[in-house]
Amino acid sequence: MKKKVIILGGLGNGSVIANAIIDANQRGYDEIGFAGYLNDREPTGSKIEGLPVLGKLSDVKTFLEQGFYFINTIYRIDGQQERIELFQNLQIPDSALATFIHPLAYVAPNVELGAGCVAMPNAAISSGVKLGKCCLVMVNATIGHNNTIGDHCHFAAQSCTSSFVEIADGVHLGLNCCVRENLKIGRNSTLGMGSVLLENIGNNEIWAGNPARFIRKTK
Ligand SMILES: CC(C)(COP(=O)(O)OP(=O)(O)OC[C@H]1O[C@@H](n2cnc3c(N)ncnc32)[C@H](O)[C@@H]1OP(=O)(O)O)[C@@H](O)C(=O)NCCC(=O)NCCS
């Protein structure tokens, strides 16, 4: 029987992942099915692009007791630490986090995926990669071989990392960026869209450009 999955979030990462789950089901994938959103901004009972808002984040416990599974999509570039804490405070056990690999994604057989990770269509996760919990690998993102990645990282569409990159928790890689091999990216840092990273990034830093330069600390 399909696991019933609730997405924490809404329009944006939440809705694109919800639609990818629905698309996967239409292709015959039946491990999980999308049930609805928990969203603190939209009223319970409303719809986001036709898909139901079932409640608020504070309703997690009720839905956990009813046997639902969860995917977290509530991230942002500034304030990532707060978002991660918001999620951690919900105390969802790993066993109730759904991992979703769209049938058009490539995930090498020896990849270690943490609970609650998502690999969207045409994402490619190469051999020897270790991903922590709740990472979102969006469409066409490519993670190079032997990367080690923390929890709550977001790989925007078309982002690309080379081999042996070490990425800490809460990192955002922007649209269409690329990262040279053997580099390290610190906690809650961001690489801007279209950037080419040639140096290590520290914690809570935003870098962008080609070659990427330090822009500012995160707020
Ligand atoms: C890097 C980023 C976070 C910076 O945002 P910001 O702090 O609002 O930065 P600003 O727009 O004020 O720009 C600050 C400076 O950085 C430059 N800059 C910003 N983003 C840049 C990028 N991606 N590449 C090159 N330069 C960039 C700006 O030109 C500006 O330079 P200046 O001071 O010489 O004029 C943002 O531009 C970005 O790339 N976000 C990622 C978008 C993305 O991946 N979205 C996916 C969502 S699913």
Domains and CATH numbers, the chain: 3-74 (3.40.50.20), 101-217 (2.160.10.10)
155 Cα: distance to centroid of ligand 1 (angstroms): 16
Q: Nearest-CA neighbor of 15 among 40, 47, 44?
A: 47
pLDDT tens digits, one per residue of 23-74: 999 999 999 999 999 999 999 999 999 999 999 999 999 999 999 999 999 9
pTM given for the model: 0.97
Cα 208 to averaged position of ligand 1 atoms, centre (Å) = 6
Closest CA to 33 of 56, 58, 74, 67: 67
Which DSSP category does 95 fall into? Answer: G
Residues in the ligand 1 pocket, defined by CB under 6 Å: 77, 156, 174-175, 190, 192-195, 206, 208-209, 215-216
User: Binning pLDDT at 50, 70 and 90, where does residue 1 land?
Assistant: confident
